[in-house]
Amino acid sequence: MEAKAILRNCPLSPRKMRMVADLVRGQKVERALNTLQWNQKPGYALFLSKLIRSGVANWSQVNSGERIEDSDLYVKSILVDGGVTMKRLRTAPQGRGYRQRKRSNHVTIVIDTVTKSEVDN
């Protein structure tokens, strides 16, 4: 049975978060955490690794009779959506102001076990 974890209002750019999320989509949990540990964007990888660990904890709550070590958990799906954009003004020359957009994102991750039909594909 699958479990879901959601991260809301992460104060990082959704476009850059999608680049990091694409690296771990479809991978086993251990390999995904190892990939994120040595990623070139450590801030983004930190948020995603915490979210994966939260998804594994949610999976263990749903499947209380099973052990995490015995089951083959993998990242079934990971979605990154845009969140609220804060608009700020930055000082510019000659009395003008440039608009600065501080973007945020929402990340949804689904953790599931590998079934025999998925291994065959």
Render pLDDT for 97-120 as a digit per residue (tens, 0 to 9): 999 999 999 999 999 998 866 655
- Cα dihedral 45, 47, 53, 57 in deg (nearest 10): -160
Model pTM score = 0.89
pLDDT of residue 25: 96
Give the Cα separation of 47 and 53 in Å (integer).
Answer: 10
Collapsed DSSP state (helix, strand, coil) of residue 1: coil
pLDDT above 70 for 23? yes
Domains defined for the chain, CATH in brackets:
3-120 (3.90.470.10)
Q: Write out pLDDT tens, residues 43-68.
A: 999 999 999 999 999 999 999 888 88
Which is nearest to 33 in space by CA: 8, 17, 51? 51
Cβ 29 vs Cβ 52: under 8 Å: yes
What is the average pLDDT across 7-35? Answer: 96
100 near 88, Cβ under 8 Å? yes
